[in-house]
Amino acid sequence: MAPRGGFSNRLGFIAAAAGSAVGLGNIWGFPFEVGQGGGGIFVLIYLFFCFTLCLPVMLTEVAIGRRTNKNAVGAFTALGYKRWNFIGKLGVLSGVLILSFYNLIAGWSFGYIFEMATANFNISEGFNSFTSDLLKVGSYALIFMLMTSLVVSKGISGGIEKIAKILMPTLILMILGVVIYSLTLPHSMEGLKFYLLPDLSEIKFSTIYNAMGQAFFSLSLGMGALITYGSYVGKNENLVSSVTFITLADVGIAVLAGLMIFPLVGFLTEGSMSGVNSGPELIFVTLPKIFGTIGGVTGAIVGTFFFILLCFAALTSTVSLMEVPVSYTVDEWGISRKKAVVISAIVVFLVGIPSMLGHGFSCFFTEFAQFGDSEKPLNFLGVIMGIANDTFLPLGGFLIMIFASHIWKKENLDQEIMMGAPKYESSLLRKYMHLSTSYIIPIVLFSIFVTTVINTFF
């Protein structure tokens, strides 16, 4: 076991890391990004990025964490490159920004448990009044933040591992159930076509950039969350197979979430698919309507259960997001875990307030900014998502790659990966890792980053 306390076994790490990856990003984020990104073409680019670019980044992050037994910032110092620990600091900043809005969406999901339990399927019609009810959403977000804080303060194997192991499989079964139901509905095939058949004419630069951001976000990469989790993994674990499993599980659940939502959109729009690009409210509007069609007590039970599981999926992710600033402050500032949790929770909650206000309550934050070629103004949450998910995470990934392959050197990375995975030495993956970490990934990520900055500001 890793010296500073760690996962109790291999399954514990896989469950916790998959728990970090699988979350609102898969079930809430992926479908609406697909909707806005023109359907199948987005899915294709996303899948391509996950396996060719993100998997090597994940392997590198986990290996750095395990080698150093340190948090996202301390890891760079421990390897002897203190000057590079700004990458970890960027990760801590990304973690705080992401958690600030993620906690709000998790709060909505939490609130929906009660809406579904009282069979309020009409919530879809009143979604805007729900999100602009500051007292309600503020309280839900606060409760969610307290739950996250409680789990994180219990430490690694006590909290995170246990909940992840039971709830992930249940969530998959539940989604499969809804997928099967949704495929039996009229017009479901139109939805499926939109989702699975790539339309090349829909491809824009923003499709590529958003697919990249979504892939990083969904796999929890580019901000040191997996450096942190890697630091709790034992030396005899096979990192290659763990990382492959985590990627497959995460991508698999995102794909399933799409299979669940798009047939439902086909059904609700009678095949026209209008409204599919409606943004972050997509699942909060479509799913209740569908639970409504099941009707009565059964609909209420299914709906309630669904949002309970969604909240658990979100919780295993919020926990990993909070673990980044917490392990940083515990290790580097020498404060107690409890104190670190309290400070992080307060900072994150405060940073999240403008996102909360930006859903109808305050005009200023609701129509916060307009960039590049976007048609309508983005709310505060949209701006933070653009900065953190789509820009900081790929930038973090780029810097980690440059660091690992050119500063720390790929021989050291190899050595760490090979511990527990002896076959890696003579594998094709190793050759691909060398090529991709040194050249392919940095070049792709850097080009996307530069083009994005130009597109946004000029």
- Give phi and psi for 120, each to the nearest 5: -85, 70
Q: How far apart are CA 109 and CA 94, in angstroms?
A: 22
Site string for ligand PFF, 309-328 (x = CB under 6 A): --------x--xx-------
Write out 232-255 in H/E/C secondary structure. Answer: CCCCCCCHHHHHHHHHHHHHHHHH
Instruction: Name which of 85 and 220 has its Cβ closer to ligand PFF.
Output: 220
Q: Closest distance between ligand PFF and the C-beta of residue 24, in Å?
A: 4
Task: Centre a 10 Å sphere on the Cβ of residue 339 and count the other Cβ atoms it contains.
Answer: 14
21 binds ligand PFF, rule: CB under 6 A: yes
> Between 165 and 434, whose beta carbon lies closer to ligand PFF?
165
Q: Write out the binding residues for ligand PFF, residues 125-164 only, by CB under 6 A.
A: none
Pick between residue 111 and residue 292 the one whose CB is nearest to ligand PFF.
Answer: 111
User: Under rule CB under 6 A, how many of the chain's residues touch ligand PFF?
Assistant: 15
Q: What is the DSSP letter of 197?
A: S
Closest CB 21 distance from ligand PFF, rounded Å = 5
Cβ nearer to ligand PFF, comparing 98 with 261: 98
Rg, Å, the chain Cα set: 21
Burial of 434: CB neighbours in 10 Å, binned 0-12, 13-18, 19+: middle
Tell me which stretch binds ligand PFF (CB under 6 A): 16-24, 75-83, 124-132, 265-273.
Answer: 16-24
CA distance linking residue 326 with residue 339, whole number of Å = 9
Q: Which residue is nearest to ligand PFF (CB)?
A: 25
Does residue 344 interact with ligand PFF by CB under 6 A? no
Interaction residues for ligand PFF, span 199-228 (CB under 6 A): 217-218, 220, 223, 225
Q: Helix (H, G, I), strand (E, B), or coil: what is residue 71?
A: coil
Cβ 185 to ligand PFF shortest distance, Å: 27
Please work out, in degrees rounded to the nearest 5, the angle formed at the alpha carbon of residue 67 by the alpha carbons of 63 and 69. 110
Told to check if 24 binds ligand PFF by CB under 6 A, we report yes
Work out whether 96 is an interface residue with ligand PFF (CB under 6 A): no
Tell me which stretch binds ligand PFF (CB under 6 A): 18-26, 57-65, 205-213, 374-382: 18-26
The alpha helices in 334-440, defined as continuous H runs, are 337-357, 363-366, 380-387, 393-402, 410-418, 428-435
Kindly tell me which residue out of 26, 68, 85, 437 binds ligand PFF, with binding defined by CB under 6 A: 26
Cα separation, 61 vs 266, whole angstroms: 39
Rounded Cα gap, residues 336 and 338, in angstroms: 5
191 binds ligand PFF (CB under 6 A): no
DSSP string, 281-333: GHHHHHHHHHHHHH-HHHHHHHHHHHHHHHHHHHHHHHHHHHHHHHHHHHHHH
- φ/ψ of 272, rounded to 5, equals -80, -20
Q: Give yes or no for a contact between 261 and 188, defined as CB atoms under 8 angstroms apart.
A: no
Residues in 258-317 at the binding interface with ligand PFF, rule: CB under 6 A: 317
Closest residue by Cα to residue 21 from 171, 196, 221, 155: 221
Name residues whose C-beta falls within 8 Å of residue 31's C-beta, 6 or more positions apart in sequence.
257, 258, 261, 262, 282, 283
Q: Which of 98, 212, 283, 326 binds ligand PFF (CB under 6 A)?
A: 98
Position among 6, 12, 19, 25 found at the interface with ligand PFF (CB under 6 A): 25
> For ligand PFF, which is the closer residue by CB, 70 or 430?
70
Residue 233 binds ligand PFF (CB under 6 A): no
Q: How far is the CB of 317 from ligand PFF (least distance, A)?
A: 4
Provide, rounded to whole angstroms, the least separation between the CB of residue 97 and ligand PFF. 10
Query: Which residues are near ligand PFF by CB under 6 A?
Result: 20-21, 23-26, 98, 217-218, 220, 223, 225, 317, 320-321
